[in-house]
A and B are shown apart, each in its own frame.
Chain A
Amino acid sequence: MAERKQTDPNLQLIRQVAAASFLWAITFVATKSEWLGHYDSSAGRIALVAVGTAGFLPVVFVYAKSIRMQDEFTQRIHLVALAIAFALVAVVSYVVDLLHQAHFIPQLPATGLWALMVVIWFAAMIVTPRYYR
């Protein structure tokens, strides 16, 4: 009987992260390019949203998978870090909206908010384990 080749789960995850990131990079560039960035036709607008969303979802999936593969303690640290990121982004988005309403700043893209959330999440992932030492 032929033996089934076992793949290291971590190696498999790294490959999936690389593939998802590559796909996202391509779709990100595509949505910013001229040929997809046409807002004249309905088809072009639908394609813009569909391609952008389809390229981003695998990134979310592999990150969720990577967290689920961790032990319960690391998952706890992720949970705390995400809670910190969520709270800070809630405050920032609220204040940014008020600043915009008061005409202090222009309207900012929503994409910047989740980018900020990711940055805070990663920073909290570095800081949070210090509490448990």
Chain B
Amino acid sequence: MKNRLRVLRAEVNWSQMELGMRVGVSRQAINAIETGKYDPSLPLAMKLARLFGKRVEEIFELEETD
């Protein structure tokens, strides 16, 4: 699954740690999501979407291989 988390985070100039604290996960979790190695749960994806004022599908996108 692709995501635009890194871009959105850069736009508001937050560190991975800061973003993680805002949604209640660790910096490592944010890093794993950004690098596409970990797909977040639906509640976490929705928290992220709400934080950035976007819909979930505006941040996360299925790839052909998913």
Q: Which residues of A contact B (CB under 8 A)?
A: 71-74, 76, 129, 131-133
Query: In the bound complex, do residue B37 and residue A71 qualify as a contact, i.e. CB atoms below 8 Å apart?
Result: no
Give the distance in Å from the alpha carbon of A72 to the alpha carbon of B26 in the complex.
9
Nearest 6 pairs of A and B residues by beta carbon:
A73-B29, A71-B25, A132-B32, A132-B37, A72-B41, A71-B26
Query: In the bound complex, do residue A132 and residue B44 qualify as a contact, i.e. CB atoms below 8 Å apart?
Result: no
Other 7 A-B pairs with CB < 8 A, given A72-B40, A132-B37? A71-B24, A71-B29, A72-B25, A72-B29, A73-B25, A132-B28, A133-B32
Query: In the bound complex, do residue A74 and residue B37 qualify as a contact, i.e. CB atoms below 8 Å apart?
Result: no
Residues of A within 8 A of B24 (CB): 71
Query: In the bound complex, do residue A132 and residue B38 qualify as a contact, i.e. CB atoms below 8 Å apart?
Result: yes
B interface majority secondary structure: loop
Query: In the bound complex, do residue B29 and residue A131 qualify as a contact, i.e. CB atoms below 8 Å apart?
Result: no
Residue of chain B at shortest CB distance from A71: B25
Q: Chain B's nearest CB lies how many Å from the CB of A10? A: 13
Give the distance in Å from the alpha carbon of A72 to the alpha carbon of B46 in the complex.
14
Residues of A within 8 A of B29 (CB): 71-74
Query: In the bound complex, do residue A76 and residue B38 qualify as a contact, i.e. CB atoms below 8 Å apart?
Result: yes
Those of B5-59 within 8 Å (CB) of chain A:
24-26, 28-29, 31-32, 35, 37-38, 40-41, 44
Q: Chain A's nearest CB lies how many Å from the CB of B33? A: 8
Residue of chain A at shortest CB distance from B37: A132
Give the distance in Å from the alpha carbon of A10 to the alpha carbon of B25 in the complex.
15
Residues of B within 8 A of A132 (CB): 28, 31-32, 35, 37-38
Residue of chain B at shortest CB distance from A76: B38
Residue of chain B at shortest CB distance from A72: B41
In the complex with contacts A71-B24, A71-B25, A73-B25, A133-B38 CB distance below 8 A:
no
Query: In the bound complex, do residue B32 and residue A74 qualify as a contact, i.e. CB atoms below 8 Å apart?
Result: no
